[in-house]
Structure 1
Amino acid sequence: MNVHHHSLWPPPDNANCHSRVLAGAVEMNTPFIALCPEITRSNALTLTDWLEDEAVTRYLSDSRNVSRMIEQVLGRVQLPILTHLFNQGGRFFMACDQHDVPVGFVRLVKTGSNCEMVLVIGNRDNWGRKLGASAIREGMKLAFFEMRAEKLIANIHPDNVRSLNAFLRSGFVPHSETPTIKSLVMESARYLRLLRESPAVHVADIHITEVDKARLRRLVDLEPGSEIFELEHEIERAVVVDPRKVAEDVVTMNSRALLKVDDEEREVVLVYPEDADDHAGKLSVFSGIGTAILGYKEGDTFNWRMPNRTCHIRIGKVLYQPEAAGHYHL
């Protein structure tokens, strides 16, 4: 898919700072994408392969030598991790599927209170398989919850119909147009409203109680930094229910549940951070799996990105739920 205005590769000091980037095809079959911030040498080589494909670079308006530039850097810099090089002037993420295979990239460039998204699906084999919508969702989550943008902008070539449709279906609205660029925008208030009112296709609803939401909201507001933006996102998208009416098979705070994480069965209790004890199976809601299971119910299965890999999680059984037991004080 093609979205442009900032380069894939940070330009040299004397380069045109308004060079534009490609947006390839957006839609793909598996609706799961994780945005991985670590960029390895292998990732960089994959990028050069994508950029050698004329179909991928059809709407790329910055230097046609980007691939060669990356190869030259790989020759000069003998490091296994190149994240710092790709994050100059913005934040760069590899877009990976549920098997942790890179299928594209997302770049977010913040200027003032606004942020611009560049999204590219690099391998033509993945075009038309509905991964683009998931990549857009993940980019919006980062832009609004972690980077605290007020507006998210996508600049797309008018002929790039696939990309235009993907962003429009994701809730972006037209902002401006020139013969070479259509600018689409998503404002923070609209994003939050759509998150609550129009759940994404293929993403399961989660439920939290009014009491849990209030407590978690206070904790999130007090927590410095951006490490818990995933939890904030889950709180905002959740269906809020009366504690006395929540289904007894939903994982609420202080629930004990039997999980299957990949091939490992685990019995855990979902707790507030001050009660966490890994040895006792008490998982903080701030932890990766803790955030992941909040609000899901028995039988739900889903993929969740941990720091170094994507996990497949299944809620096997809710063994204890405070609300079902009438323990509303927990």
Structure 2
Amino acid sequence: MNKPFISLCPEITRAHALTLVDWLEDERITCYLSDSRHVSRSIEQVIDRTQLPILTHLFNQGGRFFMAYDRHDAPVGFVRLIKTGSNCEIVLVIGDSDKWGRNLGASTIREGMKLAFLDMRAEKLIAKIHPDNSRSLKAFLRSGFMLESETPTLTSFSMTAASYFQFLREGAGGDSTRIYITEIDKARLEDLIAFEQGPAVVELEHELERAIVVKPQQVACNVITMNSRALLQLDDEEFEVALVYPEDADSNAAKHSVYSDIGTAILGYQEGDAIDWRIADRTRRIEIKKVLYQPEAAGDFHL
């Protein structure tokens, strides 16, 4: 899989904070950040005044802060989301200069969009970029943002929630492999998540929005639909799983809820597909080896 992979994690450790300070002392980064000196000093003060190993709560005052990890679970940057009313501003930095030029910025933007629109429920996402930061300008344009305003010192881009959902449905969200879901499964799952919240719901809603919807009678027999059983390879380990609704989940019987990391990850994929997904706080490679049972293929449309 060649598509750059990024995951955003809210937990901030002392080691992360020290890495952030190093990034914010790099003039190639700070020249584009209007308040970078202030941010760097603030982080250093946070480190000095507390000995706590986890500093997450201190970084989430006045906004939400996330470390960005690549597929090798190495921190490569950060995202900050600041919501004011119905609008949200995104601040993004790829701090690891060795990773520049690998399209990690665009992947990080997409993850930030997911959180802003599906978790924080923003109506508009705004990015304010230094006009000389050509790499960031291109990344936001590739991600579907539109120019909102421009001055000699600041270029503002924005995307509305409606545009974001259209972006996903058209398959323009940067996901290299499309997924398929039946009309019945989508309706049931949308009812399921209507009043739920949390990271699992965000990921599931994202997958539902970007999926190609088909009639149950027309879904290919090698697609993982709800209540399917499949043989997976997780890194180097093979095992069977059943994808079920939350009330039917049973880890002892390898029945994984669609809310679980593995459950959301495999929904709608086909035999032969391989994906990177963050499971239990680390990135894993999942390959769909074989669909062993699919209700639609067996004529069990009631499941």
- Does the alignment pair 1:129 with 2:114? no
Residue 5 (structure 2) aligns with: 32
* 2:56 maps to which of 76, 83, 94: 83
Which whole-Å CA distance do the structure 1 matches of 2:107 and 2:35 have between them? 26
Deviation of 1:275 (Å):
0.8
Paired residues for 1:11-90 under 5 Å? 31-62=4-35, 64-90=37-63
**Normalised TM-score (structure 2):** 0.96
Residue 275 (structure 2) aligns with: 302
Which whole-Å CA distance do the structure 2 matches of 1:113 and 1:40 have between them? 30
* Structure 2 gap ranges (5+): none
- Contact (CA 8 Å) 1:258, 1:316: kept in 2 or not? yes
Q: What is the percent sequence identity of the aligned residues?
A: 70
Which whole-Å CA distance do the structure 1 matches of 2:272 and 2:93 have between them? 34
Residue 95 (structure 1) aligns with: 68
**Normalised TM-score (structure 1):** 0.88
Which whole-Å CA distance do the structure 1 matches of 2:206 and 2:86 have between them? 19
Deviation of 1:225 (Å):
5.0
Paired residues for 1:83-232 under 5 Å? 83-224=56-197, 227-232=200-205
Higher relative helix content: 2
Q: In structure 2, do the counterparts of structure 1 residues 42 and 225 end up closer, same or farther at CA, with 3 Å as the change threshold?
A: closer
Residue 247 (structure 2) aligns with: 274
Give the number of the structure with larger relative contact order, counting CA–CA contacts within 8 Å between residues 6 or more apart.
Answer: 1
Give the match's secondary structure for 1:198: coil
- Contact (CA 8 Å) 1:212, 1:252: kept in 2 or not? yes
- Does the alignment pair 1:322 with 2:295? yes
- Does the alignment pair 1:289 with 2:288? no
Q: In structure 2, do the counterparts of structure 1 residues 183 and 307 end up closer, same or farther at CA, with 3 Å as the change threshold?
A: farther
Q: In structure 2, do the counterparts of structure 1 residues 309 and 111 end up closer, same or farther at CA, with 3 Å as the change threshold?
A: same
- Contact (CA 8 Å) 1:259, 1:315: kept in 2 or not? yes
Aligned length, in residue pairs: 302
Which whole-Å CA distance do the structure 2 matches of 1:134 and 1:312 have between them? 17
Which whole-Å CA distance do the structure 2 matches of 1:44 and 1:291 have between them? 31
Counterpart amino acid of 1:213? Answer: K
Which whole-Å CA distance do the structure 2 matches of 1:72 and 1:108 have between them? 21
Deviation of 1:66 (Å):
3.4
